[in-house]
């Protein structure tokens, strides 16, 4: 669970305008059970609003966002116009910390909050998507993003340099040329060196062009992610570009018909003069391999057919 997503087990329902428990199992606690098949719904006989639900977060937090998941099928009671309040004691609410309107649909919505502090969070449904002339409230789930007051969050991550490698550079060698660390700055002004782990699923050593590489790194202990809700874990990432160039600096990909994706098409013409034909004598095999190795280092592609039928890795 993300360090900035409050543990669902410590959140409870402190108050609710109503809940349907007689005609259906639509208790308010369903909005916190993590089950996508259950949901909270207000009393079916109360067709006028506004309706609300108040959550006890279990401690005082600097709340950054509220994640709302509509009931299955986005039926009656799906949130439309809303207000969100925060309170330390669950009694004095003051002005709303967020107001707005959601579009209809089944996908979760994220309501950004200004980082105000409080233990109790109240969601008021000013209106909802319900049958004509009726107003209900419902929710499959609520999640809250927040941090302990005073805890720094990520402010910036230093970019890393893009790199250029010659055609034929294996992926592992190309990734090894990217920066192994970068600097993270948090909102308290602290700086942290973090180790980078690079991946580039689309990289092709034998195909000239530009490829995106992504680096992941663990967040430093005591630092929360930037205030954008995520559903993964306490990690961040950044990107860099790897440019694969042919000899001479060209990024042209060569013959697209090359089934091996080498970017060279047909085998390139060999050298002219006495070196044009390789000796076939078995006794010259070591010399032949040496010449092919030199050619590889000079940026000339080497084909498996050029070494007496033996392939090169």
Q: Domain with 172 in it: what CATH number?
A: 2.60.40
pLDDT score at 252: 58
Residue 17 has φ and ψ, to the nearest 5°, of -65, -40
pLDDT band at 253 (very low <50, low <70, confident <90, very high): low
Structure token digits, residue 215: 């680096």
Mean pLDDT of 279-300: 43
In this structure, are 168 and 240 located in the same domain? Answer: yes
**Domain with 281 in it:** 273-300
Q: Are residues 105 and 80 in the same domain?
A: yes
Q: Does any domain span residue 313?
A: no
User: What does the DSSP 8-state code read for residue 273?
Assistant: G
pLDDT, one tens digit per residue, over 265-289 is 444 444 444 344 444 444 444 444 4
Q: Is residue 250 part of a domain?
A: no
Q: According to the model, what pLDDT value does residue 250 have?
A: 64
52-61, 145-154, 262-271: least confident range: 262-271
Sequence-separated (6 or more) residues with CB below 8 Å from residue 56: 11, 12, 13, 14, 90, 119, 120
Going by C-alpha positions, the residue among 105, 124, 130 that lies closest to residue 47 is: 130
> Does residue 87 contact residue 119 with C-beta atoms inside 8 Å?
yes
The last residue of one of the domains, among 207, 227, 245, is 245
Question: Within this chain, do residues 138 and 237 fall inside the same structural domain, yes or no?
Answer: no
Residues 252 and 178: their CA atoms lie apart, in Å, by: 23
Q: Are 197 and 173 in contact (CB under 8 A)?
A: no
Q: Which of 29, 127, 38, 121 is nearest to 77 (CA)?
A: 127
149-165 pLDDT tens trace? 777 878 889 999 999 99
Which of the 8 DSSP states describes residue 289? H
Q: How many domains does the chain have?
A: 3
Which H helix or E strand runs over 286? Answer: helix 285-297
Nearest in space to 4 (alpha carbons), one of 228, 158, 171: 228
Whole-structure pTM value: 0.51
Q: What is the pLDDT of residue 249?
A: 66
pLDDT band per the 50, 70, 90 thresholds, residue 44:
very high
- pLDDT computed for residue 147 by the predictor: 77
- Do 105 and 129 fall into the same domain? yes
Element (H, E) at 292: helix 285-297
Question: Which residues make Cβ contacts (< 8 Å) with residue 119, sequence separation at least 6?
Answer: 56, 57, 58, 59, 60, 61, 87, 88, 89, 90
Ramachandran quadrant class, 295 (left: phi over 0; alpha: psi -120 to 50; beta: rest) = alpha
Which pLDDT value is given to residue 216?
Answer: 93
What integer pLDDT is reported at residue 271 of this predicted model? Answer: 46
Q: Quick check: 217 pLDDT over 80?
A: yes
Sequence-distant (≥ 6) Cβ neighbours of residue 172 within 8 angstroms: none
Assess whether pLDDT exceeds 90 at residue 82: yes
CATH number (domain holding residue 27): 2.60.120.260
Residue 176: how many other CB atoms lie within 10 Å = 11
What integer is the mean pLDDT of 190-201?
96
Domain membership of residue 285 (yes or no) is yes
Calculate the average pLDDT of the chain: 80
48 in the same domain as 164: no
Work out the angle at residue 223's Cα, subtended by the Cα atoms of residues 151 and 33, and round it to the nearest 5 degrees: 80
pLDDT of residue 312: 34
Asked if 59 and 92 sit in the same domain, the reply is yes
The answer on 214 and 176 residing in a single domain is yes
Residues 134 and 44 reside in one and the same domain: yes
């Amino acid at each position: 669970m993300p360090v900035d997503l409050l543990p669902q087990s410590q959140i409870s329902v402190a108050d609710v305008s109503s809940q349907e428990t007689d005609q259906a199992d639509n208790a308010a606690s369903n909005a916190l059970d993590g089950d996508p098949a259950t949901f909270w719904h207000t009393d079916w006989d109360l067709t006028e609003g506004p309706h609300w639900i108040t959550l006890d977060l279990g401690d005082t937090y600097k709340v950054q966002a509220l994640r709302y998941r509509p009931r299955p099928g986005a039926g009656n009671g799906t949130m439309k116009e809303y207000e969100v309040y925060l309170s330390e004691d669950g009694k004095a609410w003051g002005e709303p910390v967020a107001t707005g309107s959601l579009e209809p649909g089944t996908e979760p919505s994220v309501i950004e909050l200004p980082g105000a502090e409080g233990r109790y969070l109240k969601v008021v449904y000013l209106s909802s998507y319900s049958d004509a002339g009726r107003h209900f409230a419902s929710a499959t789930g609520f999640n809250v993003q927040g941090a302990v007051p005073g805890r720094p969050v990520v402010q910036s991550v230093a970019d890393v340099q893009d790199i250029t490698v010659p055609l034929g550079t294996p992926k592992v060698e190309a990734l090894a040329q990217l920066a192994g660390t970068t600097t993270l700055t948090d909102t308290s002004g602290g700086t942290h060196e973090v180790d980078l782990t690079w991946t580039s699923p689309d990289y092709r050593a034998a195909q000239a062009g530009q490829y995106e590489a992504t680096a992941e790194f663990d967040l430093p202990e005591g630092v929360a992610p930037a205030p954008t809700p995520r559903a993964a874990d306490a990690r961040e990432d950044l990107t860099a570009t790897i440019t694969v160039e042919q000899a001479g600096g060209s990024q042209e990909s060569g013959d697209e018909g090359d089934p091996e994706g080498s970017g060279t098409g047909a085998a390139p013409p060999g050298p002219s003069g006495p070196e044009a034909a390789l000796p076939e004598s078995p006794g010259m095999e070591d010399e032949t391999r040496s010449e092919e190795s030199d050619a590889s280092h000079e940026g000339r592609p080497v084909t498996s057919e050029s070494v007496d039928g033996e392939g090169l890795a």
